[in-house]
């Protein structure tokens, strides 16, 4: 029996997409052979087992918001849609934990949790579209990671389907657990290359009494960088410290300024009030203006401010550097682009050194060479800042002009050994990740 018929037998004919139905699932110009929508974990396992047997690669797909990340695949294979696995399986407020299926969108999950006074303290962009499983697989994060960390600080249990179709659990449902290896850590940020996340258990937090976002404007980026260092060295406990350059600020509708620091606080009302007042005296010596309130609706747009700065981006890069050099990296990066005649937009979760940059496309005909050259400059800047940088989006000609992922060095060989152990036949999202994994 051909693979498609086997898949139809597993999930029902209505949930196997082919032909024109595949147009939303084209990956970097390649059309998959089919897309399949399993309705439960057993069906996911059966689908993967069949694909593995047929030698067809499997691309797990949540909301599709990170599908442009990584090396273009040699073959798009079978797109495995997880959107039907969208149940909130368990939420016990007294335990501050919840278990949900991978296909639930972040927005839907948060709405259900908030209805009971709690939230998952992870705020990646595109919450209405991004799914829990996808956010974990891509290790996506947002401004509040400054205080609350990333998926590795919140994920306590995970269920995955491995390349051989086995259903495997790691971690558990309790907030503290050292039994066995920490498999949740292994799957976070693994982009579906080691297993398909089908269910996750996360730590929750109570919704704070109050939350406020304020903007501090600076005449120079480097002054804002000094203010970030002063803020980190102060007694204040912000939940977000985002540094935004002029083009990103314009995209967010902020008043024009060479640099804006968006700082968030949460907690009891008096804590928030006191901190906003104290912030003014922390930033003033660095040249910061008086903190001005920002509309709460801006929170969810902060993480993607640089991405959304240009109607026609030419490439995007994410840089991980030491917090102390974020402003310098942004300044140097923008200058490197200018020198090649290109405009760029930058934003950063500055307190944790997570920087995002976008290049603007100039005109109709785009030459990949200068774009790739700027990206190489940015990568060099990240290395100089003690970190690394990877291309998170770019057209195919740019992606073929420089390595999409940074070089993981000796650790990269260890990653390849892990991939070889867990997916020896290269079934899961092959060829897209670090080191050719």
Interaction residues for other proteins, span 383-412 (CB under 8 A)? 386-388, 390, 405-406, 408-412
Q: Which is nearer to other proteins, 92 or 335 (CB)?
A: 92
CA atoms within 13 A on the CB side of 100: 33
User: Is 96 one of the binding residues for other proteins (CB under 8 A)?
Assistant: yes
Q: Which is nearer to other proteins, 368 or 394 (CB)?
A: 394
- Of residues 184 through 223, those in contact with other proteins by CB under 8 A are 185-186, 188-190, 194, 205-209
Q: Which is nearer to other proteins, 320 or 366 (CB)?
A: 320
Q: Which is nearer to other proteins, 68 or 189 (CB)?
A: 189
Q: Which is nearer to other proteins, 149 or 287 (CB)?
A: 149
- Of residues 314 through 343, those in contact with other proteins by CB under 8 A are 320-324
Q: Measuring CA to CA, which residue among 221, 223, 167, 149 is closest to residue 41?
A: 167
- Of residues 257 through 276, those in contact with other proteins by CB under 8 A are 267-268, 270-271, 274-275
Q: Which is nearer to other proteins, 97 or 260 (CB)?
A: 97
Q: Which is nearer to other proteins, 342 or 348 (CB)?
A: 348
CB of 143 to other proteins, least distance (A): 14
Q: Which is nearer to other proteins, 366 or 416 (CB)?
A: 416
Q: Is 343 left (phi over 0), alpha (psi -120 to 50) or beta?
A: beta
User: Is 20 one of the binding residues for other proteins (CB under 8 A)?
Assistant: no
CB of 353 to other proteins, least distance (A): 5
DSSP codes joined into one string, 302-360: HTTTTGGG-SSEEEEEEEE--GGGHHHHHHHHHHHHHHTT--EEEEEEGGGTEEEEEEE
SS3 letters across 240-298: EEEEEEHHHHHHCCCCCCCEEEEEEEEECHHHHHHHHHHHHHHHHHHCCCCCEECCHHH
Query: Phi and psi dihedrals of 74, rounded to 5?
Result: -70, -30
- Of residues 23 through 62, those in contact with other proteins by CB under 8 A are none
CB of 2 to other proteins, least distance (A): 29
DSSP bridge partners of 79: 35, 59
User: Is 72 one of the binding residues for other proteins (CB under 8 A)?
Assistant: no
Q: What is the C-alpha to C-alpha distance for residues 276 and 288, in angstroms, rounded to an integer? A: 13
User: Is 117 one of the binding residues for other proteins (CB under 8 A)?
Assistant: yes
- Of residues 273 through 312, those in contact with other proteins by CB under 8 A are 274-275
CB 47 within 8 A of CB 34: no
CB of 152 to other proteins, least distance (A): 5
DSSP bridge partners of 215: 262, 292
**Binding range to other proteins, per CB under 8 A, among 13-21, 238-246, 253-261, 346-354:** 346-354
Helix (H) or strand (E) holding 5: helix 3-11
Q: What x/- string results for residues 143 through 182 when contact with other proteins is judged by CB under 8 A?
A: ------xx-xx--------x---xxxxx-xxxxxxxxxxx
CB 9 within 8 A of CB 45: no
Chain position carrying tokens 């008043």: 255
User: Is 233 one of the binding residues for other proteins (CB under 8 A)?
Assistant: yes
């Amino acid at each position: 029996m051909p693979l498609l018929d086997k898949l139809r037998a597993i999930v029902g004919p209505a949930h196997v997409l082919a032909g024109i139905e595949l147009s939303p699932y084209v990956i970097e110009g390649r059309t998959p052979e089919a897309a399949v929508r399993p309705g439960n974990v057993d069906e996911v396992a059966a689908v993967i087992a069949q694909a593995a047997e047929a030698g067809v690669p499997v691309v797990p797909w949540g909301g599709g918001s990170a599908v442009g990340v990584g090396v273009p695949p040699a073959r798009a294979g079978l797109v495995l849609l997880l959107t039907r696995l969208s149940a909130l399986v368990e939420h016990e407020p007294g335990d501050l934990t919840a278990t949900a299926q991978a296909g639930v969108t972040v927005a839907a999950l948060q709405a259900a949790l908030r209805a009971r006074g709690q939230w998952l303290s992870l705020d990646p962009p595109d919450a209405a579209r991004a799914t829990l499983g996808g956010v974990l697989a891509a290790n996506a994060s947002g401004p509040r990671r400054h205080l609350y960390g990333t998926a590795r600080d919140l994920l306590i249990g995970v269920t995955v389907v491995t390349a051989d179709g086995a259903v495997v659990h790691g971690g558990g449902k309790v907030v503290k657990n050292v039994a066995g290896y920490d498999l949740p850590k292994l799957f976070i940020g693994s982009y579906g290359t080691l297993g398909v996340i089908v269910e996750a258990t996360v730590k929750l937090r109570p919704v704070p009494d109050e939350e406020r976002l304020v903007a501090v404007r600076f005449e120079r980026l480097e002054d804002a960088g000094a203010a970030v260092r002063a803020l980190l060295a102060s007694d204040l406990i912000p939940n977000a410290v985002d540094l935004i350059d002029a083009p990103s600020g314009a995209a967010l509708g902020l008043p024009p300024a060479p640099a804006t620091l968006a700082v968030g606080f949460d907690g009891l009302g008096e804590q928030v009030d006191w901190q906003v007042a104290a912030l003014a005296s922390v930033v003033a010596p660095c040249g910061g203006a008086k903190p001005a309130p920002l509309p709460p609706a801006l929170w969810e747009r902060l993480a993607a401010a640089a991405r959304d700065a240009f109607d026609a981006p030419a490439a995007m890069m994410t840089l991980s550097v030491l917090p102390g050099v974020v402003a310098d990296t942004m300044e140097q990066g923008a200058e490197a682009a200018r020198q090649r005649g290109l405009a760029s937009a930058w934003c950063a979760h500055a307190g944790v050194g997570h920087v995002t940059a976008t290049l603007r496309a100039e005109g109709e005909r785009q030459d990949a060479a200068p774009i790739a050259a700027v990206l190489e400059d940015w990568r060099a800047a990240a290395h100089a800042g003690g970190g690394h940088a990877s291309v998170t989006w770019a057209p195919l000609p740019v992606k073929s002009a420089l390595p999409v992922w940074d070089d993981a060095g000796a650790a990269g060989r260890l990653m390849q050994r892990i991939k070889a152990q867990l997916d020896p036949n290269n079934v899961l999202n092959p060829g897209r990740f670090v080191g050719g994994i």
